[in-house]
Amino acid sequence: DADVTQTPRNRITKTGKRIMLECSQTKGHDRMYWYRQDPGLGLRLIYYSFDVKDINKGEISDGYSVSRQAQAKFSLSLESAIPNQTALYFCATSDNGQGSSYEQYFGPGTRLTVT
Amino acid sequence: QKEVEQNSGPLSVPEGAIASLNCTYSDRGSQSFFWYRQYSGKSPELIMSIYSNGDKEDGRFTAQLNKASQYVSLLIRDSQPSDSATYLCAVNSSYKLIFGSGTRLLVRP
């Protein structure tokens, strides 16, 4: 089984709808991240969480919210979806500490289309 | 804003050649450096990490780091068509990773 899973894998929704993307991991990592990827813009950090009680905004958090329900679960919500939120969304995890702990491991991604 | 810069490519090399991918970064405090491979529509996959100046080899891959020049590179020897992908450079900055936008590599059979 995959260490980092994301659901759904694909979603088409309409402008104004609320959407939740879910991420679960079995790696036992404390740190979890949400990124979006747009063609030519690379990976941009939306939110990150270093433990269940520690949630931080990334560079593009406007229009998004997150919930860290447990060490293994980190959800991303779009409160009112808009077309420019159409993108590929990735969840990632990493261990805590130094050096190799910065290694991040990615889920398979969710392709979101807002019409 | 800390930055990681990569040439977007595509870098085209013949099968069996050495592919050389480059990355520069702006945060002098960075200590950890990573290369990810991403196939179209798939998630990034970690292929190399490097933490100290010099070379680190793993199979056909060699990562090179020069902190004084703020430069990281990835060499792929004996390139194969299956190496055709986008390669992302990532650098730690304040407990997070900053990703470059990637270099697309095409290996011609």
Percent of chain B at pLDDT > 70 equals 98
Segment B40-55 mean pLDDT: 95
pLDDT tens column, A7-24: 999 999 999 999 999 999
Residue B1 banded pLDDT, cuts 50, 70, 90: low
Please report residues of A whose CB lies closer than 8 A to that of B95.
Answer: 50, 102
Q: Which of A45, A90, A105 sits opposite B96 (nearest CB)?
A: A45
pLDDT tens column, A78-92: 999 999 999 999 999
Q: Which of B31, B51, B101 sits opposite A42 (nearest CB)?
A: B101
Share the mean pLDDT of chain A. Answer: 92
A97 in reach of chain B (CB within 8 A): no
> Which residues neighbour A93 within 8 Å (Cβ) at sequence distance 6 or greater?
A3, A4, A25, A27, A29, A31, A32, A33, A104, A105
Segment B28-36 mean pLDDT: 92
Q: Which of B32, B100, B101 sits opposite A102 (nearest CB)?
A: B32
Please report residues of B whose CB lies closer than 8 A to that of A40.
Answer: 8, 101
Chain A residue closest to B87 (CA)?
Answer: A42
Cα gap B42→A39, rounded to integer Å: 13
Phi/psi for A84 (5° steps) reads: -75, 5
Please report residues of A whose CB lies closer than 8 A to that of B44.
Answer: 43, 90, 106
Mutation choice for A interface testing from B3, B49, B89, B97 by most A CBs within 10 A: B97
Token pair for A87: 């993108």
Chain B residue closest to A89 (CA)?
Answer: B43
Q: Which of A41, A48, A50 sits opposite B101 (nearest CB)?
A: A41
What contacts 24+ positions apart, CB below 8 Å, involve A1-5?
A1/A26, A2/A107, A2/A108, A3/A27, A3/A93, A3/A105, A4/A91, A4/A92, A4/A93, A4/A105, A4/A106, A4/A107, A4/A108, A5/A107, A5/A108
